[in-house]
Structure 1
Amino acid sequence: MAAPPAAISPWRRLWVPLAATLSVQISVNVSILSVAVLAPVIGPDLGVPAAWAGYFVALAYLAGAVVSAWSDRLLAPVGPMTASLIAQMMAMGALLLASTGELTLLALAALVAGSALGLTTPTSSEILAANAPPALYGRVFSIKQTAVPGAGLLVGLTSPTLAHQLGWQGALLATAALLAGLGLALSTWRRRLDAARLQRRPRTGSPIAAVLADPLLLRLCLAGFCLAGVQLCLSTFFTAHLVLEVGLPLALAGALYGLLQAMGVPARVVWGWLADQFFGVRQTITVLAVLATLGVAILTQVGPGTSPLLIAALAAFLGLSIMSWTGLLLAAAAQIDPARASTLTAGAMMFNFLGIVALPPLFGFVVARTDSYAAGFTLAAAVSLTAVLLLATVRRRQGIG
């Protein structure tokens, strides 16, 4: 006899929503990180320094911030999975634009990829909040956010090899083809996931207004602003630092970058479980911010004489900390009011995007002025410490564990 609905594990109902949201998040992040990781070989062809990748990433996330701010209106006419598939195709288009080798089209590619990223957080949050109980949000949102280091792992392990075999333009084209195929496969779930929504999206005002109306959530989001900027500095400049300043081959640097991202995958799941079961999201994020500050400070001391094994250990440590907190922030926002999950998480992610917009260009400016990536990572460590101080002011309360 079939088990009654109440006896069915919620995880059995979640595999399709998680698989769909993970796939789209990975695709969109791949479209941005592919260009950043290949910056050391793209830059010379275009006659620009590798540090230009910081401006590419900043432009992408600026577009993401704008789209997040308007997501409540942009997504109203369509279902969350339809919007996710639109984002998937935009990611593919961004890679096609970047592969042209034209600076103006590369800038357009950043805008397109960033806009796609701005769509994915509210759409995936709506899909997951409609299918998961709030008690599982820490784990569910953390699992979904493994897409970010998962994309970095894929890019770190495949893009340098593809670029070696096909050239950097061929590598981007091959990646675009893979995203197109994945989008076609995901389209088979469109009707199912469009129907599983939260009573047809209530009008809840703008995402930014929702965050500004809650002082404690605002402080949490400001900490996210800091941590997101530090995270993207690592994602953008880690490979360039290892190649241009430490002197490692691109293939080895790409593998270490992949390790940095890979460690964030299981770490996000474990931290999400610990937050749900024991510590709460605020305390868990605070621990991660402290560890991230320590790890980035150590990275400032890495140089040509540093053993690759020690760099690998540091990459793993950074993956366990600075690459592992985002899902917890989104879970905290969604727990406040599951019916407004798309609006609240869009507002929280908008602050993340603004941090990403602000810090990588500043990092690139510091590197250009000092000719030292260590100086840039010193700045990143100071920003991470600011996040620790902000989180220390967020008290536990109902809605923020």
Structure 2
Amino acid sequence: MSGDHGAGSRDGKFPFPWLALAVTLAIQTLVAVAVYCAPVMAPVAARDLQVPPSAIGWFIATVYLGSMVGSVTAGGWVARFGPIRVSQVGLALCLVGLALAASSSLPLLLLGAFVIGLGYGPSTPASSQILVRATPPSLIALTFSIKQTGVPLGGAIAGALVPLLVLALGWRSTAFAVGVACLVLALAIEPWRTRYDRGLDVRAPRSLAAAAAPVLLVLRAAGLRQMAVASFVFGGVQITLVTYLVTFLTESFALTLVLAGLVMAASQVASVAGRVLWGVLADRAFARRTMLGLLGIGMGFSALATLAASPGWPTWLLFVFAAVFGSTAVGWNGVYLAEVARLAPAGKISEATGGCLFFTFLGVVVTPPAFNAVLALSSSYPAAFAAFGVPALAIGVWLLATR
């Protein structure tokens, strides 16, 4: 379609890449639903599996362990097979993972979490390849931010729809239904392969050994290395919000699963608006590094604000708190990915993105178990949230001080 152009169209005069954005946004949204349906189902599934609801942290950590593998190997797979084909395989893996996770066996559930992560991990490197080819430099932060709204959109859909499906179908059938939706989208995007799966390199590396190359690329470049450090911390704060908010609200505020899911949905909707706004500001008003520093400070203070939370808070205040927290802690990714794309060496955008995401996902892997440890020691969700807000605040100040 006329809205999409190849990499050679770099003069900033071509139209907004609507088609590329629509395809990548749909993929990002649905793989996010596949991941974020688990925290919403946790209070019900935990009772069925006879584990504490906070154990959802181990499930999410395992998901992102798989995402680490999926993201660092994505560069070679995308170069060899194309971003659409890689995205289709990722969506299919989400179905397989959700089907395994819906079993009654805890080992199979954890294996399913890892497989979901393998499907989720390549989605961002693949979409980055599509968007960079189709987007003028003057709109890159906005375009990446809009595409990355798929993550909170997926969280919002999970928060609003999954509790209703759980009540109607049960959590196992709900998990399988989400997986089937992923497969349907994988089939639906097949016509776009001829447009986006071009210029393939059949000699591109695709082994696990080659996965070290994107990580080394990041470690050797000072700008990319700094982005990786920031994303390690920011990713950890983001996952604490997404993973534990529903359980926090049901256990500490005695909210119903449906109402707690709606509060989570509000946090994700706010982050959708935030991602777009932060993208516009990063393109028009601030340097992207400055924008990321401000967001780090915002999410740090939001996490610390949980220390003031109490069961006496009115419901509307919970929604406001969740919206502010979500807009910062879940709203930084698009600006971050645009900055990574800017800092990447020529022809290495997928590799740089995958390498940086390795560290993002590493933060997401180690944070839930650490959160559980703080929770066990303090018996306080606010204390645990605050413990991970302090590093985000520090990173935000550092990014501003070292511009």
Do they superpose with TM above 0.5? Answer: yes
Match of 2:195 among 188, 192, 196: 192
Distance 1:371 1:11 in 2: 53
Q: Is the 8 A contact 1:282 1:394 kept in 2?
A: no
Q: Is the 8 A contact 1:229 1:355 kept in 2?
A: yes
Q: What is the Cα deviation at residue 201 of structure 1?
A: 9.8
Which residue matches 1:165?
168
Of 240-249 and 59-68, the range deviating more from structure 2: 59-68
Unaligned runs of 5+ in 2: none
1:10 aligns with 2:14: yes
CA distance in 1, matches of 2:278, 2:311: 33
Bigger shift: residues 377-386 or 55-64 = 377-386
Determine if contact 2:297/2:397 at 8 Å carries over to the other structure: no
Give CA-to-partner distance per residue, 1:283-330, whole Å, 9 cap, x none.
111111111111111123212111111111111111221111111111
2:362 to 354, 359, 363: 354
**Residues 77 and 86 in structure 2, CA contact (< 8 A), matched pair in contact too:** no
Counterpart in the other structure of 2:254: 247
Partner Cα distance (1:342, 1:200) in 2: 16
Q: Report if the CA contact (8 A) 1:141-1:330 is conserved.
A: yes
Structure-2-length-normalised TM-score? 0.91
Q: Does the aligned pair in 1 maintain the 2:250–2:256 contact within 8 Å?
A: yes
Q: In structure 2, what residue type is equivalent to 1:375?
A: A
Structure 2 residue 392 is the aligned partner of structure 1 residue 387: no
Q: What does 1:371-386 align with in structure 2 at a 5 Å threshold? A: 371-386=379-394
Counterpart in the other structure of 1:365: 373
Write the deviation string for residues 178-203 of structure 1: whole angstroms up to 9, x where unpaired: 222222211221221112x5999988
Contact 2:93 2:119 in 1 (8 A): yes
| Equivalent residue, structure 2, for 1:90 | 93
- 1:219-368 residue pairs with structure 2 within 5 A? 219-336=226-343, 337=345, 339-368=347-376
Query: Match of 1:305, SS?
Result: coil
Q: Structure 1 residues 197-206 or 147-156, which shifts more?
A: 197-206
1:11, distance to aligned residue in structure 2 (A):
3.8
Structure 1 position 100, deviation (Å): 1.8
TM-score (norm 1): 0.92
User: Which aligned pairs between 1:130-169 and structure 2 lie closer than 5 A?
Assistant: 130-169=133-172
Distance 1:297 1:200 in 2: 50
Q: Structure 1, unaligned stretches of length 5 or more?
A: 396-401
Give the 3-state SS of the residue equivalent to 2:166 in structure 1. Answer: helix
TM superposition shift of 1:249: 1.1
> Over residues 32-88 of structure 1, what are the superposed CA-to-partner deviations in whole Å (9 max), with x where a residue is unaligned?
111121111100100100111111111111121123233333444311110011101
Runs of 4+ aligned structure 1 residues displaced above 4 Å come to 5-9, 197-205
Give the AA of the match of 2:315.
P
CA distance in 2 between counterparts of 1:89 and 1:70 reads 17
AA aligned to 1:10 is: F
Q: 1:386: Cα distance to partner? A: 2.9
Q: C-alpha separation between the residues in 1 aligned to 2:149 and 2:185?
A: 18
Residue 9 of structure 1 deviates from its aligned partner by 6.0
Cα shift at 1:17? 1.3
**1:106 corresponding residue in structure 2:** 109
**What does 1:72-91 correspond to in 2, within 5 Å?**
72-91=75-94
Contact 2:297/2:394 (<8 A) preserved: no
List per-residue Cα deviations over 1:14-47 (Å, max 9, x = no partner). Answer: 1221111111111212111111211111001001
1:348 alignment partner AA:
C
1:7-86 equivalences under 5 Å are 10-12=14-16, 14-86=17-89
The percentage of aligned residue pairs carrying the same residue is 34
1:175–1:305 CA distance, 2 compared to 1 (3 A): same
Give distance in 1, aligned partners of 2:204 and 2:128. Answer: 14
**Alpha-carbon distance in structure 2 between the residues aligned to 1:101 and 1:160:** 20
Tell me if structure 1 keeps the 8 A contact 2:73–2:354.
no
User: Are the counterparts in 1 of residues 292 and 335 from structure 2 also a CA contact under 8 Å?
Assistant: yes
Q: Is the 8 A contact 2:74 2:354 kept in 1?
A: yes
Q: Contact 2:80–2:203 at 8 Å: present in 1 too?
A: no
**1 CA distance for matches of 2:142 and 2:201?**
24
C-alpha distance in structure 2 between counterparts of 1:332 and 1:31, whole Å: 27
Separation (CA, whole Å) in 2 of partners of 1:200 and 1:105: 34
Distance in 1 (alpha carbons) for counterparts of 2:12 and 2:373 = 54
Residue 117 of structure 1, CA deviation: 1.7
Give the distance between the partners of 2:141 and 2:201, measured in 1 at CA: 23
Aligned length: 391
CA contact (8 A) 1:68 1:207 kept: no
For 1:398, the equivalent position in structure 2 comes to: none
Matched to 1:374, the amino acid is: P
TM-superposed CA distance for 1:394, in Å, is: 3.8
